[in-house]
Each structure stands twice: as C-alpha cells, then as structure tokens.
Amino acid sequence: MNDLNFFQFVASRSDELIGLTVQHVQITGLAVLLAILLGVPVGILISKNKKVRSPILGIANVFQTIPSLALFGLIIPLLGTGYVPSVFVLFLYALLPIIKNTFIGINSVDEAIIDAGRGMGMTSKQILTKVEIPLALPVIMGGIRISTVINIGTATIAALIGAGGLGEMIFKGISMASNNMVLAGAVPTALLAISVDKLLGMFETKLTPEGITSQKDNQV
C-alpha cells in the first residue's frame, strides 16, 4: 500500500472518503446548529440581564478550557459512545464563541441609537429585532464562523468515541503507520475548514446591513 502515492491512495479510497466527509459535515453541522439555537438566545439574555451574565460566561468558559480529548472521555460514562455524545461534546465547544459574540454584538450597539429608539416609542422587542440584532448580526456571524471552524478540527477527535467522520481515517492511519492514510483524513478536514470558513465569510458579508458595510469600506 505504501507503494501508492497520496493521490493514488485518495483515488482508491474516494468512495470511503466522501462518505466520511459527509458524516463529518453532519456531525459538526448539527452541533453548530444546536449551539446557534441555544447560544444566540443565551447571548441576548446575558446582554440584557447582568445577574446571569458572569455565571453563564463562566460555565461556557470552563467547557472551552477542558481539553477536548478529556471531554470526549468524560462523556462516555454519561452518554456512551457514538453519534449522540459526539455531537453533544462538539455542541458544548461551539457554544462559547457564539454566546460571547452575540453578547458582544448586542452590547456594542451604540447606546444613543437604543435611546433614540426607546424615546421614539419602540418597544423592547422592536428595538431587539429591528435595531440590535441587525446591527449585531455581523459579530454574531463571526462567532458562528469561529465555532464552525474549530468544530471541524475537533470533530476528528470524536472518531475516538465512534462518531465516524474524517477522524476515523486519521486514527486508522496512525495505528497502521500509514502517512497517506493520515493525510487522506487530515487534508480533506483542512480543506473543509477553509472552504466552510470562506463560505460563512461570504454569508457574513451578505448579512451585514448595507449601511454598515459601506461604513467599513470608508474606514479602510
């Protein structure tokens, strides 16, 4: 097998690689999606409610600091192995950047704009949906981007607890001392991360309201 070069190896295993990539995308995608569903509302909540701010950010920080390898290990007694615990751990990892960025995005909206809105007679909900969220959207999107890119990398470790994905190829490669195999897992992972980052970047630009985009252009 060592006679094959990398490209030949990839070509010979293309079906398997595509399958693993799809699996990889599924795991990270679901984890990030869940993290958005929880993280954005929590981020908004802590921007409004100072009391819960530091405990929530504290907890989210803790999950971020535990080494991912350890966290995958720790989850086994609780949720076992396979798809569900993997997604759960990745979800925990994705949470902090999303919560933090949502909080920062909402919190950094100019106080004068909120004051004007309130003084004109907008309700808190209208201020949130018509002013704060649109203005914070680029920052929130930035958080989602960071989470996703980190998660694509971390998801390779999830293969350890049987989640599948490109990590499987890497670990197999390590145990078989096959560089080609390790690379066949690592290179698509890196490419996936880069392309998803680009894609989300484009999405971020698209979501940025026009009035703010041109403002940034002017500042350059």
Partner 1 sequence: MIELVNITKSYDGKTNVIENLNLHIDKGEIVVLIGESGCGKTTTLRMMNRLNDPTSGTIMIKGEDYTKISKIELRRQLGYVIQKVGLMPHLTVGKNIEMIPELKGWDKKKRKDRAYELLELVDLPPEDYYDRYPHELSGGQQQRIGVARALAVNPDIILMDEPFSALDPITREQLQKELLKLQDELGKTIVFVTHDMDEALKIGDRIAVMKDGKILQYDTPEEILKNPANEFVEYFVGKDRLWKSPEMLNANDIMHKSLVTVGQKRSPAQVIEVMKKKDMELLFIVEKETSKPQPPIGYITRKNLKEQEDHKVKMSEICNKDFISVHQNANMVDVLKIMEENEIRYLPVLDDDKNLIGMITTASILNIITKAVAVKEEENK
Asked whether the beta carbons of 87 and 34 are under 8 A apart, the reply is: yes
- Residue 55 or 209: the one with the smaller Cβ distance to partner 1 is 209
- Residue 11 or 113: the one with the smaller Cβ distance to partner 1 is 113
Closest CA to 82 of 17, 21, 16, 23: 23
Task: Please state, in angstroms and as integers, the Cα–Cα distance from residue 160 to each residue in 6, 70, 83, following that order.
Answer: 24, 11, 11
Q: Which residues bind partner 1 (CB under 8 A)?
A: 110, 112-123, 126, 130-131, 134-135, 209-212, 214-215, 218
Q: Provide the CA 108 distance to its chain's centre, in angstroms.
A: 22
Dist. CA 191–CA 106, nearest whole Å: 32
- Residue 130 or 198: the one with the smaller Cβ distance to partner 1 is 130
Q: Measured from the CB of residue 122, what is the shortest distance to partner 1 in angstroms?
A: 7
Rounded to 10 degrees, the C-alpha dihedral 20/26/32/34 comes to -140
Q: Measured from the CB of residue 129, what is the shortest distance to partner 1 in angstroms?
A: 11
Q: Measured from the CB of residue 126, what is the shortest distance to partner 1 in angstroms?
A: 6
Q: Measured from the CB of residue 117, what is the shortest distance to partner 1 in angstroms?
A: 7
Q: Measured from the CB of residue 48, what is the shortest distance to partner 1 in angstroms?
A: 17
* Residues whose CB falls within 8 Å of the CB of residue 216, separated by 6 or more in sequence, listed in order: none
